[in-house]
Amino acid sequence: MSKQLGIDLGTANTLIYMKGKDIILREPSVVAIDRQRRRVLAVGEDAKRMLGKTPGGIEAQFPLKDGVIADFDITARMLNFFFSKIHASGIISRPVVVICIPYGVTEVERRAVEDATYEAGAKDVALVSEPIAAAIGSGLRINGPRGSMIVDIGGGTTEVAVLSLNGIVVSSSTRVAGNQLDDAIVQYMRDEHQVLIGRSTAEELKKKIGSVHPSTDIGEIEIRGSNLRSGLAASISISSAQIREALDLPVKQILEVIRRTLAGTPPELSADILSYGIMLSGGGALLGGLPRLISENTGVRVTVAKQPLESVVRGLGRIIEGSSDYPVEFRAR
């Protein structure tokens, strides 16, 4: 018997739901490879720990960029590794997979996701648009003639979509998302404090004390980096207000995409969004103060999905369990 899987192949994280079970895998989308021997050394959490710390010849990388596959071969190997980890691969029991693709990608990018999934060992593959899965997984009812807006802020992209009757009516996306916020913190530390920090440290700062609205300020924490001029280790105290300053520009860009999409929404649907609000999903939804800031900026109520990092895969889970009436079409290779 084939296992049925729902896969959220994200720029930052990959999650897998197994039919009849639940979410059975949550790992960063990272692969560490030995370039010379062309061997995979580590995948997922183990590989993420190596980021920025590898010696020459070894490379830890994210095979997806901005929501799409940047390295086909490495992506297929990563998926194959995850299949073995959850015991879903084997000659007799190749998995049947429903996997997400961002809305608005090219045909070539679509095919890359499909082919990489087959390459990894899948028997049949069906593709579902990410905003649809995120909406279903956030608990939105999208099958009726009622407009809902979902904003998914991941690692590489922010996707905004207005849904009605199981389809996408309006959508926009931007490459400003979690990674760009981390980069903005790295740059701020360099420009304003002459301290070099790595991306992982920046991400940690964002998660621990990040606050884009004064009402959610947490306080200060001590971080380590190296002094830009002397190159020596430096320790510095950083506050939520400083992180807010660092994130100002990318956060404004995210607000702008949401506002633009609202402005381009047909009036009947925007009336629905006004009454039912905007749903936020993806890891970026956890950024302190963001729901409130979006709400103040748009005049629309904002709800954060219960487990925003899991919305997409939970949506796929509901689709494969048959508890959503969203139709999927498998394409055997």
Does position 284 interact with Mg ion (CB under 5 A)? The reply is no
- DSSP strand pairing (64-65 vs 68-69): antiparallel
The distance of closest approach from Cβ of residue 321 to ligand ADP in the complex, given in angstroms and rounded to an integer, is: 21
Q: Which does 12 bind (CB under 5 to 8 A by kind): ligand ADP, Mg ion, none?
A: ligand ADP
* Alpha-helix runs per DSSP H in 120-175: 130-137
Does position 283 interact with Mg ion (CB under 5 A)? The reply is no
Return phi, psi of residue 231, to 5°.
Answer: 75, 0
The distance of closest approach from Cβ of residue 195 to ligand ADP in the complex, given in angstroms and rounded to an integer, is: 20
Instruction: Report angle CA 9, 177, 276 to the nearest 5 degrees.
Output: 90
Residue with smaller CB distance to ligand ADP, 122 or 177: 177
Residue with smaller CB distance to ligand ADP, 10 or 63: 10
Stretch touching Mg ion by CB under 5 A, among 3-11, 18-26, 120-128, 269-277: 3-11
The distance of closest approach from Cβ of residue 177 to ligand ADP in the complex, given in angstroms and rounded to an integer, is: 6
H-helix or E-strand spanning residue 269:
helix 267-276
Tell which positions 142-161 bind Mg ion, by CB under 5 A. 154
Residue with smaller CB distance to ligand ADP, 75 or 164: 75
The distance of closest approach from Cβ of residue 55 to ligand ADP in the complex, given in angstroms and rounded to an integer, is: 26
Residue with smaller CB distance to ligand ADP, 269 or 316: 316
Residue with smaller CB distance to ligand ADP, 93 or 307: 307
> Residue type for 186, please?
V
- Distance between CA atoms of residues 182 and 5, nearest Å: 31
Write out the residues near ligand ADP by the rule CB under 6 A. Answer: 10-13, 154-156, 178-179, 203, 206-207, 210, 282-284, 286-287, 309
Q: Which does 193 bind (CB under 5 to 8 A by kind): Mg ion, ligand ADP, none?
A: none
Tell which positions 215-244 bind Mg ion, by CB under 5 A. none
Q: Which does 80 bind (CB under 5 to 8 A by kind): Mg ion, ligand ADP, none?
A: none
Q: Which two tokens stand for residue 54?
A: 């590898």
The distance of closest approach from Cβ of residue 64 to ligand ADP in the complex, given in angstroms and rounded to an integer, is: 8
Residue with smaller CB distance to Mg ion, 10 or 315: 10
Does position 10 interact with Mg ion (CB under 5 A)? The reply is yes
Under 8 Å between Cβ of 59 and 71: no
The distance of closest approach from Cβ of residue 318 to Mg ion in the complex, given in angstroms and rounded to an integer, is: 16
Residue with smaller CB distance to ligand ADP, 269 or 280: 280
Q: Which does 13 bind (CB under 5 to 8 A by kind): ligand ADP, Mg ion, none?
A: ligand ADP
- Distance between CA atoms of residues 326 and 204, nearest Å: 37
Residues in touch with Mg ion (CB under 5 A): 10, 154
